[in-house]
């Protein structure tokens, strides 16, 4: 939002009760000269004889309706206009009329040319600013520009007619009611009846894209043609306007527009946003900053801010945009931790103030209060009221205050309509009018036998912050011996100290206060795991080298440490010990301080031996890896310490440049080439708000109850369609084995859906491939490209499944009705779009019989066409995602996949894992063998694989929608104007099992995301050989029958040599310890 300056210049706040001032403006702009020529007919609700207004200096206004005179700053102040530091920009005028008038006319002209300049504020983050500028690059005119007459801060409505030389177009608030182009001049009329708190006008040489939907219009004004980018923003505009209309109330304006500015900005303006050319092309903006700007049309540009009583708007917008999206992605806890951490880190030394004194962010401390603290206050209010009442309060606040300036008091009044009058007085008093934050301490936790039976737990919660106690609702997690999940309770604390009791038939073994960070408070450093960010941001950290000759390789790392001359490290050797009041790095296993550091890290589960380090059941050889570990400073947890070990000291200078990119991690492992091999965050075990009461305390906190987001952003994809299609395919009588009746029904269904979506046949007049042999009966649809028609992206899924056996039918819901349904939903989307490249939609047959269908398809393509295949995405077994990551199999088929998926992950927030190990998993392997980059989307293995229990009721609709959204970002890139992906090198066919062959089974459900060495168990099938031997999820198999299982491919190859009923040995890692077991192989 860009309105704070002018709001503070005018001492009287916005007053909707006084009515809006109406402007009827005609403005001709000359970008090349930096000039405007304007006429304004200004109307008022009531007649006046005197009109006092401000205007940019040098515009020489005149009026036929009265005597016009400039005012001195002293005279202007008597009318409530205080220019303060902005005095050079503005001139106040008084128009005296001969009789009372409800309107008068004003003509003015002149230059508004204020060059871009960096702001001096800490928070500016390199964005330039200008109060107003008309230039050959474009124009930006806001209230701060003084480009139209402004009256004592009153709200405005307007009709704005603009004329500009072509190719310039103008954009303003409200609806565009007229537009024309003639004689090299572009004209437009923008008008609104809904009050605004300012009029903003932007112009530039725009290419316009627009779409009408739901009674309003969406626009993208770009400085160069880019339809794919415009489509993304038009889609997002529609999606988020629908989200907030459903959550809060109707969108208040007739349009929303994305406007590309001519310098980097991020402005939210009534009914449009003005974003810089680099900003709009950042991949994550669409689902982060962009919805934030859209939401400002409700908060800040719909309900205005009474700045004199505090800016309530930014925190509420952050909570319902940035936080809501994080919550929807399952990252709400992390967002809350980050907000509390920023307050704890930045609000120090007198930087604190109450929310009622927040106006705008100008520093890290003001952001931590006005955004972070406010966000947490809204979160606590929501927790206290419940989601439905919180939504009612928001809707009531919006309905009661749309078009007027509101305060924290108005917020309270709206929510008390839900709770009852006066119920929230104490809440708003302590959180909006009081500076500071609570600090909590857990003390005296103990458990004893109850008087009759069971157990009684006692613990004390203390508030240790300065000043009076807060009234707090504190969530507590209580773990009982033998229970899988904690019991959640809410503790009411109004005093400085309170002792609580909890009785249970089972022994309490652990208690945690506010484990999910739901209470606004000052964090203890020990509440969150130590990460490298604490060291990377440290002032003058210590670098402790090994003494003597052993320190020479580490000296090179120290020399490359930083180029910041203002924050150079303090270099010493291990004989000097560790600094008591600074964060430090211990460098080298030869360092005399390293053994004690390693021993301290074992409390996190790390294990150190002379030749290896074991982390999470992964064993890394010291000789070929570099390790970085973060921990708390042993004397002061507010500081940090790190240990660096390396078996390749000649590569150490590379480490200094890499470390700043890994701040969120607690530990890192790099290979011999200094490439990332593994990373992770310690499980925090030292929180002062947790107490273990028995040796049987849980190894890691949680799991805590799952929470539904306050609202879910609508998707472009239909969960109902996907489940309907998958259910139909999975319910075919007798299953979908090639040649069966159920298989023929499935093929007919897919063919019909391709036709209804609007696809064309890939060849000829039929969607069915010429090959009709069972196992090769593919269905092939085409969306022709708008530009590179002869280049292709292939989207595929196999629709066949196993034949019935012994009277049992295999539904194949996850494998692979899910992938086929996802393919059909993608077909509906892309049939209605205009990709640059053509997209082939392939429903393959015979995947379960050695990939017959995909092999036949590729064999039938001319070599010239194969060379035009950019890439293939295969959707196989995508129906059980849950809270897991999308597994991407075949990622080694192009070195570009890592970049493609990283971009899609930024945009969608989808968590994924690239599996580069070559596996004969599905139809993508046929493409790889043909020299085409290809990957498989895979939601992960499960115990129902190839069983009669793989039924539609177990499918995860939300997970499939998430994968569709993720895939769409990748498809947009692959089918766009990007270069072809690099091809797989030396692709060869991988051996696969023959149809009908009975194979040995251990009961392992492998974790495909685990990079090795070894094969980690995601799960162990109940009743299987491994289950009988006592193996559990998380264990890592390292050998089977004496043959090393270095990875999943090696494990599978070893297993193929064995037979059901054979007795073999299994070597594995469990909880960091090497173990062996004897098992008898089962069959499948």
DSSP 943-970: TTTTSTT--GGG--HHHHHHHHHHHHHH
Once rounded to an integer, what is the mean pLDDT over residues 122-148? 82
The answer to whether the Cα torsion of 109, 12, 2, 291 is positive or negative is negative
pLDDT value of position 815: 94
Average pLDDT rounded to a whole number, residues 1047-1065: 88
304-433 classified as CATH 1.20.1250.20: no
pLDDT(85) > 50: no
- Residue among 748, 938, 740, 967 at smallest CA distance from 843: 748
pLDDT tens digits along 22-32: 999 999 999 99
Query: Could you tell me which residues are beta bridge partners of residue 118?
Result: 128
Q: Does the pLDDT of residue 562 top 80, yes or no?
A: no
What are the start and end residues of each CATH 3.30.2010.30 domain in the chain?
Answer: 206-286
All CATH 2.60.40.1840 domain ranges in the chain, comma separated: 440-527
User: How many CA within 13 A on the CB side of residue 938?
Assistant: 23
Of the candidates 1067, 1069, 1068, 1027, the one whose C-alpha atom is nearest the C-alpha of residue 616 is: 1069
725-975: CATH superfamily: Zn peptidases (3.40.630.10)
CB-hemisphere CA count at 13 Å for 786?
12
Q: Give ∠ CA 123-129-133 in degrees, rounded to 5.
A: 170
What number is the average pLDDT over the span 82-89? 61
Asked whether the predicted pLDDT for residue 18 surpasses 90, the reply is no
Cβ neighbours of residue 620 closer than 8 Å, sequence gap 6 or more: 612, 613, 614, 627, 669, 677, 678
Share of the chain above pLDDT 70, in %: 94
CA–CA distance, 189 with 64 (Å, rounded to integer): 25
Q: Are residues 1078 and 1062 in contact, defined by beta-carbon separation less than 8 angstroms?
A: no
User: If pLDDT is split at 50, 70 and 90, which confidence band does 87 have?
Assistant: low
Amino acid 776: pLDDT: 95
Q: Reading across the β-sheet that carries 626-633, which strands appear in turn? A: 570-573, 542-545, 584-587, 636-646, 626-633, 667-670, 676-680
Average pLDDT of the segment spanning 982-993: 60
Q: Which residues of the chain does CATH 1.10.390.10 include?
A: 304-433
Share of the chain above pLDDT 90, in %: 71
Distance CA 668, CA 655 (A): 11
Round the average pLDDT of the chain to a whole number and report it: 91
Return the pLDDT at 699: 62
Among the four given CATH numbers 1.10.640.10, 3.40.50.300, 2.60.120.460, 2.30.42.10, the one describing domain 1000-1083? 2.30.42.10
Q: DSSP secondary-structure letter at 1057?
A: T
- Look at residue 991 in the predicted model and tell me its pLDDT: 45
Task: Tell whether the model's pLDDT for residue 990 goes beyond 50.
Answer: no
CB 646 within 8 A of CB 590: no
Summarised one tens digit per residue, pLDDT across range 757-812 is 999 999 989 999 988 899 999 999 999 999 999 999 999 999 999 999 988 999 99
pLDDT digits (tens, 9 = 90+) for 226-264: 998 999 999 999 999 999 999 999 999 999 999 999 999
**What integer pLDDT is reported at residue 482 of this predicted model?**
87
Give yes or no for residue 293 having a pLDDT over 60. Answer: yes
CATH number of 206-286: 3.30.2010.30
Asked if residue 167 has a cis previous peptide bond (ω within 30° of 0), the answer is yes
* Cα dihedral across residues 398, 400, 406, 407: positive or negative: negative
Cα separation, 410 vs 14, whole angstroms: 14
pLDDT class for 16, splitting at 50, 70, 90? very low
CA distances (Å), 677 to each of 608, 624, 819, in order? 18, 11, 31
For residue 127, what pLDDT is reported? 55
**Separation CA 27–CA 60 (nearest Å):** 15
Per-residue DSSP letters for 9-62?
Answer: HBSSPP-GGG--EEEEEEEEEETTTTEEEEEEEEEEEEEEEEEEEEEETT---B
Q: Which residues contact 899 (CB under 8 A, 6 or more apart)?
A: none
Start and end residues for every CATH 2.60.40.1730 domain found in the chain:
22-118+125-203
Bond from prior residue into 30 cis (ω within 30 degrees of 0): no
Q: Which has the closest alpha carbon to 51: 69, 37, 73?
A: 69
pLDDT(988) > 50: no
Residue 998: per-residue pLDDT: 55
Residue 68 has a pLDDT of: 97
Model pLDDT, residue 84: 53
* Mean pLDDT of the region 12-26: 67
Task: For Cα atoms 358, 361, 367, give the angle at the middle one, nearest 5 degrees.
Answer: 90
Question: pLDDT of 585-618, one tens digit each?
Answer: 999 999 999 999 999 999 998 999 999 999 988 8
509 or 549: which carries more pLDDT confidence?
509
| Topology of the domain covering 22-118+125-203 | Immunoglobulin-like (2.60.40)
Given a cut of 60, whether residue 411 has pLDDT beyond it is yes
- Which region among 443-447, 830-834, 1012-1016 has the lowest average model confidence (pLDDT)? 1012-1016
Residues 6+ positions from 720 with CB-CB distance below 8 Å: 957
pLDDT reported for residue 661: 82
**Fold entry, domain 440-527:** Immunoglobulin-like (2.60.40)
In the chain, CATH 2.30.42.10 covers 1000-1083
Measured from the Cβ of residue 425, the count of other Cβ atoms closer than 10 Å reads 11
* pTM summary value: 0.83
CB atoms within 10 A of CB 770: 11
pLDDT value of position 785: 95
Does the bond joining 703 to the residue before it have cis omega, within 30 degrees of 0?
Answer: yes
Residue 2 clears pLDDT 70, i.e. is over it: no
Buried b (16+ CB within 10 A) or exposed e, 939-966: bbbbebbebbebbbeebbbebbbbbbbb
The residues, any chain, with a CB within 8 Å of residue 1051's CB and separated by 6 or more, are 1004, 1006, 1015, 1037, 1040, 1045
Query: Is a pLDDT exceeding 50 seen at residue 671?
Result: yes
Residues in the chain: 1084
In this prediction, residue 986 carries a pLDDT of 59
Provide CATH 3.40.630.10 ranges for the chain: 725-975
């Amino acid at each position: 939002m860009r309105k704070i300056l002018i709001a503070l210049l005018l001492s009287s706040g916005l007053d909707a009760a006084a009515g809006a001032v109406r402007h009827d403006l005609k403005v001709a702009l000359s970008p090349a000269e930096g000039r405007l020529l304007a006429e304004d007919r200004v109307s008022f609700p009531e007649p006046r004889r005197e009109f006092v207004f401000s205007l940019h200096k040098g515009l020489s206004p005149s009026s036929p309706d009265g005597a016009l005179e400039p005012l001195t700053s002293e005279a202007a102040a008597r009318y409530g206009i205080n220019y303060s530091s902005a005095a050079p920009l503005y001139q106040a005028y008084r128009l005296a009329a001969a009789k009372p008038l409800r309107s008068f006319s004003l003509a003015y002209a002149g230059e508004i040319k204020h060059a871009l300049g960096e702001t001096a504020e800490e928070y500016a983050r390199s964005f330039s600013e200008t109060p107003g500028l008309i230039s050959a690059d474009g124009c930006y005119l806001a209230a701060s520009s003084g480009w139209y007459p402004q009256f004592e801060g009153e709200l405005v409505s307007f009709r704005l007619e603009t004329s500009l030389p072509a190719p310039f177009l103008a954009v303003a608030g409200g609806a565009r009611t007229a537009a024309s182009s003639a004689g090299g001049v572009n004209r437009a009329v923008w008008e609104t009846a809904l009050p605004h708190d300012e009029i903003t006008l932007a112009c530039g040489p725009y290419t316009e894209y627009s779409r009408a939907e739901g009674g309003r219009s969406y626009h993208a004004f770009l400085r160069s043609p880019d339809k794919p980018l415009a489509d993304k923003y038009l889609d997002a505009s529609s999606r988020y306007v629908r989200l907030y209309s459903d959550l809060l109330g109707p969108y208040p304006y007739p349009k929303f527009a994305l406007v590309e500015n001519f310098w980097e900005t991020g402005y939210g303006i009534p009914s449009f946003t003005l974003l810089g050319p680099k900003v709009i092309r950042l991949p994550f903006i669409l689902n982060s900053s962009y919805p934030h700007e859209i939401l400002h049309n409700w908060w800040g540009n719909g309900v205005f801010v009474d700045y004199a009583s505090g800016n309530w708007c930014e925190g509420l917008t952050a909570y319902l945009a940035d936080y809501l999206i994080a919550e929807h992605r399952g990252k709400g806890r992390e967002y809350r931790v980050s907000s509390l951490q920023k307050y704890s880190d930045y609000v120090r030394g007198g930087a604190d103030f109450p929310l009622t004194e927040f106006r705008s962010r100008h520093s890290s401390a003001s952001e931590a209060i006005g955004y972070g603290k406010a966000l947490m206050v809204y979160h606590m209010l929501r927790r206290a009221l419940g989601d439905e009442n919180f939504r009612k309060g928001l809707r009531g606040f919006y309905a009661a205050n749309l078009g007027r300036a509101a305060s924290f008091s108005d917020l309270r009044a709206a929510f008390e309509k839900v709770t009852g009058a006066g119920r929230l007085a104490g809440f708003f008093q302590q959180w909006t009018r009081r500076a500071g934050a609570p600090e909590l301490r857990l003390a005296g936790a103990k458990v004893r036998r109850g008087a009759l039976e069971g157990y009684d737990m006692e613990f004390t919660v203390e508030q240790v912050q300065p000043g009076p106690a807060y009234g707090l609702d504190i969530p507590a997690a209580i773990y009982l011996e033998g229970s899988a999940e904690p019991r959640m309770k809410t503790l009411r604390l109004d005093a400085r100290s309170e002792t609580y009791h909890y009785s249970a038939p089972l022994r309490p073994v652990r208690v945690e206060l506010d484990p999910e960070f739901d209470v606004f408070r000052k964090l203890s450093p020990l509440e969150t795991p130590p990460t490298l960010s604490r060291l990377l941001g440290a002032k003058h950290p210590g670098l402790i080298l090994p003494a003597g000759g052993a320190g020479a390789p580490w000296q090179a790392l120290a020399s490359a440490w930083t180029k910041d001359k203002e924050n150079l490290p303090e270099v010493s050797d291990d004989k000097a010990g560790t600094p008591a009041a600074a964060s430090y790095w211990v460098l080298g296993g030869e360092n005399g301080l390293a053994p004690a550091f390693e021993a301290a890290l074992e409390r996190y589960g790390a294990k150190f031996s002379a030749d290896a380090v074991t982390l999470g059941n992964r064993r890394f050889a010291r000789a070929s890896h570099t390790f970085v570990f973060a921990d708390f400073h042993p004397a002061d947890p507010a500081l940090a310490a790190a240990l660096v070990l390396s078996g390749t000291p000649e590569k150490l200078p590379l480490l200094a440049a890499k470390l700043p990119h890994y701040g969120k991690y607690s530990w890192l492992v790099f290979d011999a080439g200094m490439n990332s091999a593994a990373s992770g965050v310690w499980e925090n075990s030292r929180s002062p708000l947790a107490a273990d009461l028995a040796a049987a305390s849980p190894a890691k906190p949680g799991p805590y109850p799952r929470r539904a987001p306050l609202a879910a952003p609508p998707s472009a994809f239909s969960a109902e369609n996907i489940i309907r299609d998958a259910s139909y395919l999975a319910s075919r009588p007798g299953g979908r084995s090639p040649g069966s009746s159920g298989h023929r029904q499935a093929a007919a269904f897919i063919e019909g859906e391709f036709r209804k979506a609007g696809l064309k046949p890939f060849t000829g007049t039929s969607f069915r491939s010429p090959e009709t042999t069972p196992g090769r009966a593919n269905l092939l649809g085409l969306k022709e490209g708008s530009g590179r028609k002869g280049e292709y992206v292939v989207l595929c899924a196999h629709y066949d499944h196993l034949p019935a056996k012994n009277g049992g039918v295999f539904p194949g819901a996850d494998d692979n009705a899910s992938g086929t349904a996802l393919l059909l939903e993608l077909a509906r989307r892309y049939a209605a779009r205009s990709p640059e490249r053509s997209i082939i939609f392939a429903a393959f047959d015979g995947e379960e019989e050695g990939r017959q269908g995909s092999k036949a398809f590729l064999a039938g393509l001319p070599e010239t066409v194969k060379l035009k295949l950019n890439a293939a995405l295969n959707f196989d077994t995508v129906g059980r995602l849950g809270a897991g990551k999308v597994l991407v199999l075949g990622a080694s088929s192009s070195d570009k996949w890592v970049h493609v998926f990283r971009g899609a992950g930024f945009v969608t927030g989808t968590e994924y894992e690239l599996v580069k190990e070559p596996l004969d998993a599905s139809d993508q392997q046929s493409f790889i063998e043909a020299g085409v980059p290809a990957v498989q989307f895979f939601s992960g293995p499960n115990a129902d694989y190839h069983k009669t229990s793989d039924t539609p009721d177990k499918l995860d609709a939300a997970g499939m929608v998430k994968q569709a959204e993720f895939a769409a970002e990748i498809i947009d890139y692959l089918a766009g104007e990007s270069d072809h992906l690099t091809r797989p090198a030396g692709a060869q066919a991988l051996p696969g099992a023959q149809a009908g062959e009975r194979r040995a089974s251990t009961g392992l459900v492998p974790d495909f995301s685990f990079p090795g060495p070894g094969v980690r168990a995601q799960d162990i099938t109940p009743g299987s050989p491994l289950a009988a031997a006592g193996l559990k999820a998380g264990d890592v198999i390292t050998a089977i029958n004496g043959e090393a299982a270095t990875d999943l491919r090696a494990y599978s190859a070893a297993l193929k040599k064995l037979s059901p009923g054979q007795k073999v040995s299994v070597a594995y890692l469990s909880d960091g310890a090497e173990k062996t077991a004897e098992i008898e192989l089962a069959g499948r």
